[in-house]
Chain A
Amino acid sequence: MRVRVRLFASLREAVGRSELELDLPSGASAEDAWRALARSHPPLAARRPSLAASVNRRYAPFDTRLDDGDEVVFIPPVSGG
């Protein structure tokens, strides 16, 4: 199945794009989508514990199962003020 991934702030900069698509086996979770992303961008791995994720515009735990066509957003915390 294919899911669409959107990235914000420093994640977007680390990956170099704000949006991409991932091919995942059916039954994959948001965590699996993150792992697939981190495999292609290894420096991302260290960021996982501080990230928030959402699936189809709802904040979602990383074990949320994805369906074909879902939109997954990974949001890093931002500290600037």
Chain B
Amino acid sequence: MPAVVKIPTPLRGFSGGRAAVPLDGQTVSRLLDALLADSPGLRPHLLGEDGRLRNFVNVFVNGDDVRALEGLDTPVRDGDEVTIVPAIAGGTDLSNEEIARYSRHLIMPEVTIEGQRRLKEGSALLVGAGGLGSPAALYLAAAGVGRIGIVDFDVVDESNLQRQIVHDTSWVGKPKLESARSRLSALNPHIEIETYDAALTRDNALVIMQDYDVVVDGTDNFQTRYLTNDACFFLKKPNVYGSIFRFEGQASVFWPGKGPCYRCLYPEPPPPGLVPSCAEGGVLGILPGVIGGIQATEALKILMGIGEPLMGRLLLYDALTMSFKQLRLRRNPECPLCGESPTIHELQDYIAFCGVEDAEVLKGVEEITATELKQRLDAGDDIDMVDVREPHEWAICRIDGARSVPLTDLDERLHEFDSSRTYVMQCKVGVRSAMAIGQLRQAGFRRLLNLRGGLTAWAREVDPSMPTY
């Protein structure tokens, strides 16, 4: 007859609804291992990242606190009753330090100590520690959200620092997760920070998200946006959406069962290559500060249960005209996910759904590497180089001997090309030049090479003195 582990009500969602789990184990520690093997979702609620029992979790053997016995080494016999009591189950109290820290919240009748307790008991998952994730993480941490999770796999790049304010110069080249953890725990030592060093995928999304009350979508690609939306739908978690482009941003709250979802708004992703990323299109540094701040605001309201969430509304922000517009959204009865006859019943293959930009655009395009190009130029080969970047990029750097024909003007300047000559097309990273090759081919040109990796590769392989941007 094994021992029985009693699960408190707030944690039964992670034990398959069971109030008691019979398990074998000679000590409390072994029993907990067996419990977590049986119900892995309990892990973050019981153990810290160091694998030790969290401070606010108490364990009793037959009614005695194990701290008064032999701690986790307390022996367990068949038929013993082991009870887990998280302090959280009885309501969270704020320490005097926390009361001082959050005083400007506590004195507002909309928040009070009750709202602040909800924040402390609450949890938010940030998908991405980039432009949007940075300000959102800082404000959620400062506000006292008890547990903040961050999913990211990237390292801090110098070009991130213009907007990704959770990171600073000393972290360039190091993981964003470590940088964010360091900054957030310095900002607020009263909160827990969980990090997930991974890209969000169909295999890990549900497992990671299930432990959080609200999800903040600060990702930078369409695959992850559809994945985040679908996973939130299946888990019934509110999804605080934000996205940015140059000077414009969008925000909304997609709350399964209550309002429309991302797929109601955008049933299909755009064709690969048509919508530039921040790296290709640029972004005003403070734009994600505004949109990420709106996302953090919505997450806090949801956790406290106050105000009107940005649900059923799409907020459009334009920094250049400094204007906000709101569009009323509604659930699409034909939505394949949340509509009346849904066709999506599980997570999908999002890469196939969204297409892979480079593979798609570069298909069938003949390439030349920067090193090969340099050799052919040095050998005096008769090659024309055409740079399809915009004039303001051309002004930053260019390869000697290239001429500028911005992609946007290409259609009107086809007459400048000669079908008997060979052209090496180039841009920043090689995607727009591949699109230019597509246009030139349609116009009947055949002798076309794409500079693989663009000027970025040229700067790396051939001319390190060239600035990269």
Residues of A within 8 A of B (CB): 8-10, 46-47, 49-50, 52, 54, 57-59, 73, 75-81
Contact = CB atoms under 8 A, between A and B. Distances in A.
Interface string B131-155: 1110000000000000000000000
Contact of A80 (B265, B274, B283): B283
Nearest to B246: A9
20 contacts: A8-B248, A9-B248, A10-B245, A10-B275, A46-B271, A47-B270, A47-B274, A50-B271, A52-B265, A54-B327, A54-B328, A57-B326, A57-B327, A59-B329, A59-B330, A77-B275, A78-B249, A79-B243, A80-B220, A80-B283
B165 to A, nearest CB: 14
B421 to A, nearest CB: 26
A75 B327 CA distance: 10
B242 A81 contact: yes
A79 B327 contact: no
Contacts of B265: 52, 59
A23 to B, nearest CB: 24
Interface residues of B, number: 45
Given A9-B245, A77-B275, A78-B250, A59 B222 contact: no
Contacts of A49: 267-268
B131 A57 contact: no
Contacts of B314: 52, 59, 75
A73 B325 CA distance: 11
B278 interface: yes
B316 interface: yes
B328 to A, nearest CB: 4
Contacts of B266: 50, 52, 77
B128 A81 contact: yes
Given A58-B327, A59-B327, A59-B330, A77 B269 contact: yes
Contact of B268 (A10, A50, A78): A50
Nearest to B276: A10
Interface in B268-317: 268-271, 274-278, 281, 283, 288, 314, 316
